[in-house]
Amino acid sequence: MLNRSSSGTRWRVRPDGQDKVTGQLKYLTDMSAPAMLYGRVLRAAYPHAAIRSVRTERALALPGVEAVLTWKDVPGLNRFGIARADQPVFCEDRVRYTGDAVAAVAAATPEMAEYALRLIEVDYEPLRVLTDPEEALTPGVPQLHPDGNRLHRSEYRRGNVDESFGACVHIVEATYRTPRQMHTYMETEGGLFVPGEDGRLTVYSPTQHGLMDRLQLARILAVPPESIRVVSSPIGGSFGGKDELNVQPYGALLAKATGKPVKIHQSRMESVRAGLKRHPMTIRMKTGVDASGRILAHQVRVLADTGPYATLGAEVLNFTTEHVIGSYTFGTVDAVSDSVFTNNGMSGEFRGFGGNQALFALEGQMDRLAEVLGMDPWEFRRMNLLPPDGTGPFGQPISVTGGALKVWNALKESELWQEREHLPESGDRPPWIQTGIGAAFVMHGAGLGYGIPDPSGGRLRLAHDGKVEAAFGFEECGQGLLATLEQMLVEMYGLDASDLRLVIGDTDAVPDSGSSTASRATSMMWQALRRMREPFTGRLLAAAAEAAGVSAECLQVGTGGVYDIYTRKRVMTYQGLAAVVKEPIRAETSFAYPVSPTTRIGAHYLYSYASVCVRVEVNRLTGRIRLLNQFHAVAAGPVMNPQGYLGQIEGGSGMALGFTLSEDAVMEEGMYKTGNLDTYLIPTASDLACSVEVLPIEDLPEGDEHGPRGIGEIGSVGLAPAIAAAVRQATGIWLEKLPADPALLQDASFLGRKVETV
């Protein structure tokens, strides 16, 4: 099991830890500047309306107000969106959700900015509100975009399912529904936007990909990207939610317009209203087996509510389609997924990226099928696992790790799973407390997938002050990226943490490493460091050899400097070396995330595997579920950073508990009913005070070139279906909709009343 004591000296104090526990760390929303202005955004008053006019005169006349901007003030492209630029910076003639921006204000105080917003007069003509993706696809409804209300359709077919269903002995059909989950990063969106005297603009605002923000902002401002510097770390949590632009366009435009620094820090209410959420999905599955338990046919229909604009909605949907097939071999498959525009809140990228919804449904089918067959659900899964020969969900070639069988075995042998057969009848519990154990199997793709540019890279150099500077275009969202980078440099290069300077999150200083997303950053840093090791240390040792007048073969890299491998004495400090080198010592690499030799857009090549086992307790008086134990086995290659690895699985799983039990950003008529954290309920320590065991499976086949696989998302996927299986064992009731509705789990039959059917 992974923990501090089993990790020994590999369990390290994070380089950003001291500043975090003392409160000294300056988040970008903590920044301020002399004479700065406060920016605010006017959001749409209706979820769907035509804008007849916008009058800003009264707001502009207010003393202390220095700018009021609308779409007319956008010098460049009045649109943004990572994959498809369809979201207005400021709406021109129509608003499509209540987070849409109509205007923005910069004023001397937050109160004045607030008041100025009230003085902006917008004439709306409310339009029919589309709240249901199914309705949005029916003829005659308003079309939210020129190409209609379907953002994207993703299909996959193999064989003839209709024929195969005919040959099935058992067929299970179910419809699964998942909630509009909010990322709920503790730091809401914001930052400081500082115009420079040289005409450049510095943007201090969290994002998962600084260079992408720079590109998008350059298009909006109609300036060259190099004239913008984006400083984007540290980040108070993101989970995908700050991948897309949020307040940056407004801060940048206001700073440009006023020539003064502008600070924006969104309230939680505004963050809820404007920010991304996980796509609510309805997934219908029909899956059939033969008498021996082989799955012959699998039919899937996915309907995703993507909200008003695209962001990465299409890419999320592709991921879902891949993962509703997932780790199993099906005789025939027929999967059709649609992502549909509505006037609800924005859906978009969120840890797990459409896999969470898919796996809740897919694993639910596995449990139901095993039950109708009278088979052990875990054995049933094994019988239908993809062959370990490197075949992926779409039949595409994938990198072989052997992880699937290893996590399968680890769960089977776990104490928790073995207790499943011997659950005490009721023990010392009152009759309304019922317990159950359930499990789920997860296969999760990493990287952006085939057909989407996925470059990465990094840079090392010996700086003038003798520090070894490692520069990557990644971001520290809290996941421990800096800690992992430091640990890899220490363990792979033999350097000491004190020799290092880690440079991230600043577009003026970093190479393009791609986005800190899709469980890819650790893999890519490892890959880059592996590629740069020979060239960098070679140059370092050659320069030291020349300066010291010895042979480079006698030297090695070590703590604080270069050492003689025979005498083990330090020949030269890095500081000394930096002072005498004639040519800069540096190495740089760029490469692409590995992809499958396939033509299927979005298909992945590298996968991580996990199995999750839980014990739950259901109180039949209240219908409430409590998580008692968790076991996670994760096969994702070697553990680069034990503390970070454990934290990702525990933290991901905590997020998944909310997805399962309490989280849903409820909307009515396009308006959020959960405006803040008093109604949108993420788990507390009391909800998660259960035992957690994490078992990493590190080994990879001989000759594997890809090293550590991603673990940033996989912990957030498997808990929901495992809980659903455990609830079934405890109560005999299947959960089909998340978060679980306690009303479905109530049972007062201990009183001698008849069990009510619900």
Partner 1 sequence: MKSETDRIGLKPWTCEINGGRVSLNVSPSRRLLDVLRDDLGLTGTKRSCDIGRCGACMVHMDGVPVNSCLVPVYQAEGRSITTIEGIGRDGLHPVQQAFLEEGGFQCGYCTPGMIMTVIALLGEYPDPEPEQVKEALSGNLCRCTGYAAILRSVRRASERIIGEGCGPGGKGDACV
Partner 2 sequence: MDAIFNPVGDAPNVWHPADAREAYLLKRRLGRQAVYVAGGTLLRTEWEAGSRSVSPHWIDLQRAAGMGEVFMQTGGLCIGSQVTLGTCRKHPTLTSLYPLVGKAIRCTAAPSVRNVATLGGNVCSGVGDVLPSLLLYDAELVWQNEQGREAPLPLREWLELRAAGALDPDRILLAIRLPERADESGIRQASGGDDALPSLLRIEVYHKVGRREAFSPSLVTTAVSAEIDAAGCFRQVKIAAGGGKAMPARLGALEAWLVGSKADLSRLPDVYERVMEEYQPAGDIFAGESYRRKTAASLIAADLWQLLQQTASEGGGRYAEPIQQRNALEGPSGRPG
Contacting residues toward partner 1, per CB under 8 A: 4, 11, 13-14, 16-27, 29-30, 32, 63-64, 66, 108-109, 111-112, 183-188, 234-237, 239, 265, 267-269, 477-480, 643-644, 646-647, 650-655, 657, 676-678, 682-686, 688-689, 691-692
Task: Please tell me whether residue 428 binds partner 2 under the rule CB under 8 A.
Answer: yes
CB 226 within 8 A of CB 214: no
Task: Please tell me whether residue 733 binds partner 2 under the rule CB under 8 A.
Answer: no
CB 354 within 8 A of CB 361: no
CB 280 within 8 A of CB 180: yes
Task: Please tell me whether residue 155 binds partner 2 under the rule CB under 8 A.
Answer: no
CB 369 within 8 A of CB 741: no
- Scanning 114-122, 137-145, 462-470, 557-565 for contacts with partner 2 by CB under 8 A, the matching segment is 114-122
Residue 32 touches which member of partner 2, partner 1, none, C-beta under 5-8 Å by kind = partner 1
- Scanning 22-30, 307-315, 660-668, 708-716 for contacts with partner 2 by CB under 8 A, the matching segment is 660-668
Chain centre distance of CA 108:
36
**Residue 294: phi, psi to the nearest 5?**
-75, 135
Alpha carbons within 13 angstroms on the beta-carbon side of residue 458 total: 28
CB of 43 to partner 1, least distance (A): 17
Would you say 537 or 630 has its CB closer to partner 1? 630
Using CA atoms, how far apart are residues 561 and 499, in angstroms rounded to an integer? 8
Kindly report each contact of residues 218-221 with a partner whose C-beta sits within 8 Å and lies 24 or more positions away, as own/partner: 218/76, 219/76, 219/77, 219/80, 219/85, 220/74, 220/75, 220/76, 220/77, 220/78, 220/79, 220/80, 220/89, 220/249, 220/252, 220/253, 221/75, 221/76, 221/252, 221/253, 221/256
**Residue 244: phi, psi to the nearest 5?**
-80, 160
Using CA atoms, how far apart are residues 347 and 312, in angstroms rounded to an integer? 9
**Any idea which residue has 């953002």 for tokens?**
151
> Contacting partner 2 (CB under 8 A), which of 451, 619, 693, 706?
619
C-alpha angle 402/403/405, rounded to 5°? 80
Using CA atoms, how far apart are residues 710 and 518, in angstroms rounded to an integer? 8
Chain centre distance of CA 684:
21
Task: Please tell me whether residue 687 binds partner 2 under the rule CB under 8 A.
Answer: yes
> Contacting partner 2 (CB under 8 A), which of 18, 160, 418, 679?
679
Would you say 209 or 620 has its CB closer to partner 1? 209
CB of 265 to partner 1, least distance (A): 7
C-alpha angle 23/28/32, rounded to 5°? 90
- Which amino acid is located at 138 in the chain? T
- Scanning 222-230, 237-245, 561-569, 682-690 for contacts with partner 2 by CB under 8 A, the matching segment is 682-690
Residue 751 touches which member of partner 2, partner 1, none, C-beta under 5-8 Å by kind = partner 2
Task: Please tell me whether residue 117 binds partner 2 under the rule CB under 8 A.
Answer: yes
Would you say 333 or 657 has its CB closer to partner 1? 657
Residue 43 touches which member of partner 2, partner 1, none, C-beta under 5-8 Å by kind = partner 2
> Contacting partner 2 (CB under 8 A), which of 530, 531, 626, 706?
626
Task: Please tell me whether residue 757 binds partner 2 under the rule CB under 8 A.
Answer: no
**Any idea which residue has 């058992």 for tokens?**
170
Task: Please tell me whether residue 256 binds partner 2 under the rule CB under 8 A.
Answer: no
Task: Please tell me whether residue 180 binds partner 2 under the rule CB under 8 A.
Answer: no
CB of 755 to partner 2, least distance (A): 12
Which residues are at the interface with partner 2 (CB under 8 A)? 43, 45, 109, 111-112, 114-115, 117-118, 267, 269-270, 426, 428-433, 619-624, 626, 661-662, 666, 668, 673, 675-676, 678-679, 681, 683-687, 742-743, 746, 748, 750-753
